[in-house]
Amino acid sequence: MTIKENFELAKQAYAKWGVDVDEVVEKLKNVPISIHCWQGDDVAGFEVNQNELSGGIDVTGNYPGKATNAEELRSDLEKALSLIPGKHRVNLHAIYAETNGEVVERDQLEPKHFENWVKWAKENGLGLDYNPTLFSHPKADDGLTLSHPKEEIREFWINHCIGSRKIGEYFGRELGTPALTNIWIPDGYKDIPSDRLTPRKRLKESLDKIFAVETDENYNLDAVESKVFGIGSESYVVGSHEFYLNYAMKNNKLCLLDTGHYHPTETVSNKISSMLLFSEKLALHVSRPVRWDSDHVVILDDELKEIALEIVRNDALDRVIIGLDFFDASINRVAAWTIGTRNMIKALLYAMVVPNEYLKQLQEEGNFTERLALMEEFKTYPFGAVWDYYCEKMSVPVRESWLEEVKAYENEVLSKR
């Protein structure tokens, strides 16, 4: 049978439950995923005075062909985007500035250092998001930045974050879609602290100074990102979930939830509904922790499906900003982007063809038998036929055929670096 014929049969199966699959496909086209640039070069960046990776971040593997400059990185991103259905965004870190060989400290970065990225984004119909880089730098060597005891260290990073928000605003103004500028810091202690409050007071004061400089929310959206622990901050992280949740709520900022930044038994999917009750918008960094915040490539596992279901069933596709955050240097990096992003979109499609309203009704009626039975049955409904049709409609490779294009790109481009 053809892809179209399989799709028509799937449509009939879902129509029985009141799901308009044609409508779902059209809706999915308009859901952007923010694809993180740092998968392409193992979070190295392109600073002239490049520093060793730090801040509790570790990238393992040495697969050949990683990007060594911005042009190569953009080329690799273009290849991945050609294999991913839909129109999306690219998420940058400050270390991906282009300074034409000049040493420019992070607190001196300006929009002009990202002009090539904006030009490229315009050519490819992409939005851009941004992150100040508060790691891999001599002024972060002791694991403290915005909460540092030394005022001059704090001021350096405060100025970097203020400049970063201006860069995000520049992205939004130039591209006609607001940039999410997200602040994450590695600050914490390896062993049990004798004072948890003072570093958090300093962090709060630093953030207050950063956000005292206004940016236009039509062009820049501010987010803060928490973490439970990291390498070198196993016992205490200054920017905990509770800290940032309270800070975001009180100061009208977005709280960004990273799926690898919680205790092993916590799930981000379970947090989404609570967050949406009290926040107009919510941001996500979708990753895959394996025993720790190891940022494995996103797979179509139960938690990814549950995250998508929580977004879709709560009618929050326009309220949740979905970004990705993983880095695997043990496999082809273009393939990593393709696998992870296609899986995020698959999860959303899966959630959109489930008859969520009927399942909600069953729960309200106390009909837990039928609810469980149907939730299990829908797991094997012909969702794959809808996905194949969507890929074909969006002119990207169907099923695993994209892998041949990545292999060819590796032979022709990546292997020659």
Query: 3-state SS of the chain?
Result: CCHHHHHHHHHHHHHCCCCCHHHHHHHHCCCCCEEEHHHCCCCCCCCCCCCCCCCCCCCCCCCCCCCCCHHHHHHHHHHHHCCCCCCCEEEEEHHHCCCCCCCCCHHHCCHHHHHHHHHHHHHHCCEEEEECCCCCCHHHCCCCCCCCCCHHHHHHHHHHHHHHHHHHHHHHHHHCCCEEEEECCCCEECCCCCCCHHHHHHHHHHHHHHHHCCCCCCCEEEEEECCCCECCECCEECCCHHHHHHHHHHHCCEEEEECCCCCCCCCCHHHHHHHHHHCCCEEEEECECCCCCCCECCCCCHHHHHHHHHHHHCCCCCCEEEEECCCCCCCCHHHHHHHHHHHHHHHHHHHHCCCHHHHHHHHHHCCHHHHHHHHHHHHHCCHHHHHHHHHHHCCCCCHHHHHHHHHHHHHHCHHHC
Are 306 and 410 part of one and the same domain? no
Residue 219 has a pLDDT of: 98
Q: How far is CA 254 from CA 202, 257, 260, 275, in A?
A: 20, 10, 18, 10
Angle of CA points 167, 50, 288, to nearest 5°: 70
Are 273 and 142 part of one and the same domain? yes
Are 258 and 144 part of one and the same domain? yes
Residue 59 has a pLDDT of: 77
End-to-end CA distance of the chain: 42
Q: Is the pTM of this model over 0.75?
A: yes
Provide the residue type at 345 as one letter. I
Q: What's 284's domain CATH number?
A: 3.20.20.150
- pLDDT tens digits for range 26-54: 999 999 999 999 999 988 889 878 777 66
Are 329 and 375 part of one and the same domain? no
Are 107 and 254 part of one and the same domain? yes
Q: In this structure, are residues 323 and 36 in contact, taking their beta carbons and an 8 Å threshold? A: yes
Are 332 and 253 part of one and the same domain? yes
Can you give the C-alpha Rg of the chain in angstroms?
Answer: 22
Residue 51 has a pLDDT of: 72
Are 262 and 334 part of one and the same domain? yes
| Number of domains comprising the chain | 2
Are 366 and 297 part of one and the same domain? no
- pLDDT tens digits for range 321-361: 999 999 999 999 999 999 999 999 999 999 999 999 999 99
Residue 47 has a pLDDT of: 86
Q: How far is CA 386 from CA 4, 10, 133, 316, in A?
A: 9, 7, 40, 22
Are 367 and 324 part of one and the same domain? no
In tens digits, what is the pLDDT along the chain, a chain of 417 residues? 899 999 999 999 999 999 999 999 999 999 999 999 999 998 888 987 877 766 666 777 799 999 999 999 999 999 999 999 999 999 999 999 999 989 999 999 999 999 999 999 999 999 999 999 999 899 999 999 999 999 999 999 999 999 999 999 999 999 999 999 999 999 999 999 999 999 999 999 999 999 999 999 999 999 999 999 888 888 999 999 999 999 999 999 999 999 999 988 899 999 999 999 999 999 999 999 998 888 999 999 999 999 999 999 999 999 999 999 999 999 999 999 999 999 999 999 999 999 999 999 999 999 999 999 999 999 999 999 999 999 999 999 999 999 999 999 999 999 999
Catalytic residue set: 184, 225, 227, 258, 261, 285, 293, 295, 325
Choosing from 328, 352, 376, the residue where a domain stops is: 352
Residue 248 has a pLDDT of: 97
Are 386 and 262 part of one and the same domain? no
Are 93 and 197 part of one and the same domain? yes
Residue 53 has a pLDDT of: 67
Residue 377 has a pLDDT of: 97
Are 337 and 366 part of one and the same domain? no
Q: In this structure, are residues 131 and 181 in contact, taking their beta carbons and an 8 Å threshold? A: yes
Angle of CA points 342, 343, 345, to nearest 5°: 65
Boundaries of domain holding 209: 32-352
Q: Which of 269, 261, 370, 399 is nearest to 17 (CA)?
A: 370
Residue 56 has a pLDDT of: 63
Angle (deg, nearest 10), helices 368-377 and 356-365: 160
